[in-house]
Amino acid sequence: MTPQAPARTYRRLSVEERRNQLLDAALSLFAHRAPEDVSLDDVAETAGVSRPLVYRYFPGGKQQLYEAALRTAAEALRGCFDEPREGALLPRLSRALDRYLAFVDEHDAGFAALLQGGSVVETSRTNAIVDGVRRAAAEHIYRHLGVAAPGPRLRMTVRMWITAVEAASLMWLDEEKQPPTEELRDWLVDQFVAVLSVTAARDEQTAAVVHALTSADG
């Protein structure tokens, strides 16, 4: 008599685990395809569940799912600049950029769709989520610079550099991820020092920042 194979057991996922599973599936799709090219059927198939189950967790449909996935990605991006404020600033900035560029590399087309906009699912809420990442990155940088109340010129300089990092990342994807990541990172760090130096010629607060920066890292 042939022994019967043991019955396969399935673990029932909690509400949070199931929701995270669906978000992971959505993010994996958005990483390689523009949001408008991803359907709920695609998400259900990737997660190995039924379409009605996706709707059970995201009754608002694709828009709600996209915004939830975007918030998850935004949290990851915000964390890229959350570097311990220990040691010299430029190595700290390099480590933050390493994490940022690793995210860009992993999410590829999804990162491009996130920043370039123009998606059919783009709304004021999604724009606010993306802008929140930029603001959080700027706040981290001010803390790394040791500035509690940045003036307008320093704020503009930091935000301009963040915009340059985003633009360079998008072009890097278009250029088939060339130059190598380490070279791109070092170039962006050099740009940061350069734009601060330009602003320092017109702003005493930034001049003090540059002096402290070059004294500590030089």
Summarised one tens digit per residue, pLDDT across range 78-103 is 888 888 888 889 999 999 999 999 98
| Across 11-35, average pLDDT | 82
108: Cβ–Cβ under 8 A, 6 or more apart, which residues?
Answer: 31, 32, 173
Q: Would you say residue 152 has pLDDT above 90?
A: yes
The three-class DSSP label of residue 177 is: coil
Summarised one tens digit per residue, pLDDT across range 117-139 is 545 455 677 788 888 889 999 99
Question: What's at 132, amino acid-wise?
Answer: G
The pLDDT of residue 122: 58
| Across 69-75, average pLDDT | 82
76-82: Cβ within 8 A, 24+ apart:
76/103, 77/103, 77/133, 77/137, 78/132, 78/133, 78/136, 78/137, 80/137, 81/136, 81/137, 81/140, 81/141, 82/140
For residues 34 and 119, the answer to whether their CB atoms sit within 8 Å is yes
What number of other Cβ atoms are within 10 A of residue 136's Cβ? 18
Report pTM: 0.79
Q: Would you say residue 38 has pLDDT above 80?
A: yes
Q: Would you say residue 216 has pLDDT above 70?
A: no
pLDDT band at 110 (very low <50, low <70, confident <90, very high): low
The pLDDT of residue 69: 82
CA–CA distance, 52 with 55 (Å, rounded to integer): 5
Summarised one tens digit per residue, pLDDT across range 73-83 is 888 888 888 88
